[in-house]
Amino acid sequence: MQIYKVGGAVRDRLLGKPVTDIDWVVVGATTEEMLAKGFRPVGADFPVFLHPKSGEEYALARTERKSGRGYGGFTFHASPEVTLEEDLIRRDLTINAMAEDDQQNLTDPYHGQRDLEARLLRHVSPAFAEDPLRVLRVARFAARYAGLGFTVAPETLDLMRQLSESGELEALTAERSWKEISRALMEDQPQVFIEVLRECGALKVLMPEVDALFGVPQPEAHHPEIDTGVHTLSVLEQAARHKQPLTVRWACLLHDLGKGLTPEEEWPRHIAHEHKGLKLIKAVNERFKAPKDCQELALLVGKYHTHGHRALELKPSTLLELLQSFDVYRRPQRFEEFIAACEMDARGRKGLEQRSYPQADYLRGAANAARTVAVQPLLENGFKGPELGEAIKRERLKALKTYKEAASA
Ligand code: CTP
């Protein structure tokens, strides 16, 4: 049997990037031979094994044929006769379809190295269409390598467009899609992921609520970029620039969905868009089964981001409601993430990327002021049950009044 390093490990070594996990392909071997060498099978009918010591993935060279719709619809053909070239041709991109032996000799039948130099994400063959998840993968690679100057080859974008129009994307499972989306959002230029999906028509299928924001105007006084879709991409860009976690990036992407519902005659104003957007945010959250912390933050940011921007003008009672809604006493981190998302929203506007955001410290100060209210003296005064709750609220409100007065003095 011959063993080759394949895929991302070869690509990233040639790009001079750190290699984290290594995939291997094994040519000329049978399942029985692999088991005899101590490899552990990954699944019952999947020709992939884990190395007994390193735990890295070794796949038997295989050809794939599509037998049905969706991800369940694959049949695998793995046999010792399948050549390295036959295995590589079924892979997604030319830059992912290179193999290397233990002497670092490169096998590159589909010119991955040429495309690396040309900074092109190009599909290997029509077999690309066998897995519609690849539409998301290409957009994710575009987001990752945009800083190096990579773009999607026009013929690959055409194929992605055909796949998006064919209805195949709808057959993807929430889990597989979310894995790509969440990884893409954590790349250096997550806005490129959304841009590429939009360009090939996949955004309209996957997240029509986000797609609908393009072409929707906002008031120029607050939004020099005007277009709501452009604004959303800038917010995402800022979130990546400021190294925000996934929760914040997800909330940034979804914060303005309500603006897509505004009747045209009300443009460029968007009255109550925060509230109108909630059902859309919920739908997107559920479509991809986003993790609970992402779902929660997206809904809270959707509902309260305007409160964040207006923090300095809010009445103490409104400030208190905001803090209570976030359960800021038990969940301080979530409130920090809300503040971060608001700040990214404020900076994701043309020419305002460097603006200061005094609201952030003001909100932190308010949370601290409310948090300093001590419960013990109230207990000692005999408050219990709902009355205790009311008394705590009153004291917090007092603390916020004092805080606001001191801040505006
Ligand atoms: N592959 C593919 N189609 C897919 C998934 C994977 O063709 N839908 C192939 C590609 O050749 C890819 C390899 O399998 O390079 C390994 O896949 P994976 O580990 O998911 O991706 P990497 O390319 O290693 O990229 P990353 O750095 O994102 O892990």
Nearest ligand 1 atom to alpha carbon 7: 15
Ligand 1 centroid to residue 217 C-alpha, Å: 39
CB of 178 within 8 A of CB of 141?
no
Output the pLDDT for position 403: 97
Q: Which of 23, 134, 140, 187 to mutate to test the pocket of ligand 1 (most atoms within 8 A of CB)?
A: 23
pLDDT in tens, the chain (409 residues): 899 999 999 999 999 999 988 999 999 999 999 999 999 998 766 789 999 999 999 999 998 755 555 445 556 778 899 999 999 999 999 999 999 999 999 999 999 999 999 999 999 999 999 899 999 999 999 999 999 999 999 999 999 999 999 999 999 999 999 999 999 999 999 999 999 999 999 999 999 999 999 999 988 988 899 999 999 999 999 999 999 999 999 999 999 999 999 999 999 999 999 999 999 999 999 999 999 999 999 999 999 999 999 999 999 999 999 999 999 999 999 999 999 999 999 999 899 999 999 999 999 999 999 999 999 999 999 999 999 999 999 999 999 999 999 998 8
249 lines ligand 1 (CB under 6 A): no
132 lines ligand 1 (CB under 6 A): no
131 lines ligand 1 (CB under 6 A): yes
Nearest CA owner, ligand 1 atom 20: 8
In a domain, 204, yes or no: no
133 lines ligand 1 (CB under 6 A): yes
Domain of residue 41, CATH code: 3.30.460.10
99 lines ligand 1 (CB under 6 A): no
In a domain, 321, yes or no: no
Output the pLDDT for position 72: 54
Ligand 1 centroid to residue 59 C-alpha, Å: 12
Pick from 79, 111, 143: which residue ends a domain? 111
In a domain, 134, yes or no: no
Query: pTM surpassing 0.85?
Result: yes
Nearest CA owner, ligand 1 atom 13: 7
Pick from 111, 143, 172: which residue ends a domain? 111
Ligand 1 centroid to residue 316 C-alpha, Å: 52
Range of the domain at 6: 1-111
Pick from 55, 82, 111: which residue ends a domain? 111
Output the pLDDT for position 338: 98
In a domain, 361, yes or no: no
At 82 the three-state DSSP class reads coil
Output the pLDDT for position 94: 98
Ligand 1 centroid to residue 20 C-alpha, Å: 13
Nearest CA owner, ligand 1 atom 8: 134
At 270 the three-state DSSP class reads coil
In a domain, 7, yes or no: yes
Structure tokens at 104: 């670092």
In a domain, 52, yes or no: yes
> Residues near 271 by Cβ (< 8 Å), separated by ≥ 6?
262
Ligand 1 centroid to residue 253 C-alpha, Å: 26
Nearest ligand 1 atom to alpha carbon 134: 8
Angle value at C-alpha 57, between 54 and 60, nearest 5 degrees = 130
Nearest ligand 1 atom to alpha carbon 20: 27
308 lines ligand 1 (CB under 6 A): no
Say how far apart CA 358 and CA 313 lie, in whole Å.
12
Pairing of strands 23-27, 2-6: antiparallel
Angle value at C-alpha 375, between 369 and 379, nearest 5 degrees = 155
134 lines ligand 1 (CB under 6 A): yes
Output the pLDDT for position 408: 87
CB of 204 within 8 A of CB of 160?
no
In a domain, 381, yes or no: yes
Number of CB atoms found within 10 A of residue 243's CB: 9
Q: How many domains does the structure of the chain reveal? A: 2
In a domain, 247, yes or no: no
Q: Which of 96, 148, 186 to mutate to test the pocket of ligand 1 (most atoms within 8 A of CB)?
A: 96
Selection from 225, 251, 253 nearest residue 335 by Cα:
251
Ligand 1 centroid to residue 58 C-alpha, Å: 13
Bridge partners (DSSP) of residue 142 are: none
92 lines ligand 1 (CB under 6 A): yes
Q: What share of the chain is helix, strand, coil (3-state, %, to 5)?
A: 55, 10, 35
Ligand 1 centroid to residue 401 C-alpha, Å: 56
